[in-house]
Amino acid sequence: MCERGATDIHQHLWPEPLVEQLRIRTRPPRLDGWTLHLAGEPPFEVRPEDHDPLRRARLDPGLRRVAVSLSSPLGIEQLPSDEASPLLNAWHQGVRELPEPFVGWASAHAADPDLDGLKALLSDRLIGLQIPATAMATPRAVEKLAPLLAVAEAAGKPVLVHPGPQPPREEETPPWWPAVVGHVGQLHAAWWSWYAAGRTLLPRLRICFVAAAGLAPVHHERFTMRGGGQLRLDPRVFVDTSSYGRQALDAVARVLGIDALVLGSDRPYATPVDPQLGAAVEHAVRVSNPRHLLEGVRP
């Protein structure tokens, strides 16, 4: 897994300006030193080395580009505008200052986005727009979000759909519950909401769902059985490989085709897994397909 020229489209790294803003806050989400406080969750000890760009770059020396995005489960995009703006500004400042091979995804306030500001960001090194899956929970939500997504479409930049914040975890559920149940459910809703409404509204937008869209594409047979019709393949829709291995990625590729899969590791919360599907697939997932996502639709 060290092919030169590869791109990882999905990592998380908190640049110093964002860390400073999180430490200023007195309400969640906030950092006390390196202790993260989120509403309804126990304090979480962040490893500072996980957000060291030089150390991170050494983990995958074969990567030509590493695309980092704001951690949407923090809930920053859903905060009141006056609270979100300093954090979003700090994110955009910090991510543009990161050294190579890092590039960044822009983020926007979910309810009151600055469309002109986003247009400027997408013309200044940022490769696309990240959207929390919670903002795409229904087809109607996609319709409401369309003016924001249209800014990325007009700029020729893709959109990355990432799980958003979860409700406070019930005490009887295990620690892995939000990632395995909650985030997967968010991605399912976002995938099918986009399928139902998105392409009609935004015919040229390239869009990628992290974590293989929670394996939503594999449910196409149930979709067809329940009256949805035959699945329509879309060359402008991609899914990343984060948190899944050979069995899951093979199943998704059988539905969408291998050209839809792009490398996403979700570092530092997960590590890339070699699905062992062969050298041609590895090249497609790590090199060719990310290029099509970021720079133009695949053939």
Which two tokens mark 59? 């983990």
Give pLDDT tens digits for 69-126: 999 999 999 999 999 999 999 999 999 999 999 999 999 998 899 999 999 999 988 9
pLDDT of 298 above 60 = no
Pairing type for strands 261-262 and 6-11 reads unpaired
Going by C-beta distance under 8 Å and a sequence separation of 6 or more, which residues neighbour residue 75?
28, 29, 38, 39, 164, 165
Cα–Cα dist 22/266, whole Å: 21
Q: What is the pLDDT of residue 2?
A: 47
Q: What is the mean pLDDT of the chain?
A: 93
CATH architecture of residue range(s) 6-295:
Alpha-Beta Barrel (3.20)
Give the residues across from 159 on adjacent strands: 129, 207
- pLDDT digit string, tens, across residues 229-274: 999 999 999 999 999 999 999 999 999 999 999 999 999 999 888 8
Which amino acid is present at 68? V
Position 278 pLDDT exceeds 60: yes
Q: In this structure, what are the phi and psi dihedrals at residue 203, rounded to the nearest 5 degrees?
A: -65, -20
Helix (H) or strand (E) holding 260: none
Look up the pTM and report it.
0.95
